[in-house]
Amino acid sequence: MKKLQTSFAGLTLKNPFIVSSCSLTNSAERNKKWEEAGAAAVVLKSLFEEEIEAELVQAKKEAHAEEMGYLQAYYQAHRLEEYLRLVKETKQTCTIPVIASINCYHNSDWTKFAHHIEEAGADAIELNIMSVRSELDEAYGTYEQLHIDILKQVKKEAKIPVIVKLGRNFTNCMPLIDQLYANGAAAVVLFNRMVTFDIDIEKVSCTHGNALGQTNDLSEVLRYTGLASARVPNMDIAASGGIADGAAMVKALLAGASAVEVCSALYWQGSEGIQKMLVFLSEWMERHGYESISQFRGRLNAKEGNAMDKFERTQFFNNFSLRND
């Protein structure tokens, strides 16, 4: 339906629903099914710098020193070839925008992969620069500057839109979003989901927690989407995290998102979840008299005079009373 059309990162989308990068987007056949179910765009499963590095670490244990240069080139070329095949096959199969995903944490030569990804036909590139910083001697701002440096490097290699997917681990992500916009980012995604950490008390070992997102993730996504869309109004935002149903999608749009990236809900609901969300959105717009998303997008963001204190308030004393019974 035309009234659901939106613009994100310079791409015209038939609706705000984007399938997020995950194992569900690792083949052209799967991606075609998402398109047939109603998705407006798909973010391909990431090309992981971390996985390439892990393969090289293992190879170092088994190879002679003089072989390492060759092995590094081989592993990079092999992974890139596999990824380019995924991009090409999905573009041949799908008519919706195809967004490649690069998961990285260094500003190194491998970012030149972006040029080959563009040549393979990707409509945009999403940079996922998530990492945990814990070094005592790291200067303040180093992590933020890394995002800008990687963005600049990729922009040198590719002309297609570049999207930056941010984690939650910033003291204040607003100046970073502003600088990313100033340096040519077409959009940001709020937020990347960090691999969860847990401890098994019976095996006395470290392990992973729940891999899928939770509906309570939505609160912080709405808060920072509302803040960012008001502070940096020209930057397109995709809300990601806690988008479990049509109501969550509407909330994200009201907070100022141009689109939503959905992952966990597809594991729970399958492709039927896409149509359910889109039908809800359409019916909600009908009930409220909206003919287009642009009429209400950002209506409840943190712009001046729009209850900004609700976005920035961190205490709860006005909502809960303490009792001694």
Superfamily of domain 2-312: Aldolase class I (3.20.20.70)
| DSSP string for residues in 168-224 | S--S-HHHHHHHHHHTT--EEEE-PPPPPEEEETTTTEEEE---S--GGGHHHHHHH
pLDDT above 50 for 70: no
Are the C-beta atoms of 254 and 200 separated by less than 8 Å? no
pLDDT digits (tens, 9 = 90+) for 311-322: 766 555 455 555
The token pair that represents 72 in the structure block: 């590094």
- Spell out the domain ranges in the chain: 2-312
Mean pLDDT of the chain: 86
185 contacts: CB under 8 Å, gap ≥ 6:
151, 162, 163, 164, 235
Are the C-beta atoms of 142 and 115 separated by less than 8 Å? no
pLDDT digits (tens, 9 = 90+) for 83-118: 999 999 999 999 999 999 998 877 666 677 899 999
Are the C-beta atoms of 44 and 35 separated by less than 8 Å? no
The token pair that represents 124 in the structure block: 């945009």
Question: CA-CA distances (angstroms) from residue 164 to 75, 110, 123, 127, 180?
Answer: 25, 17, 15, 5, 8
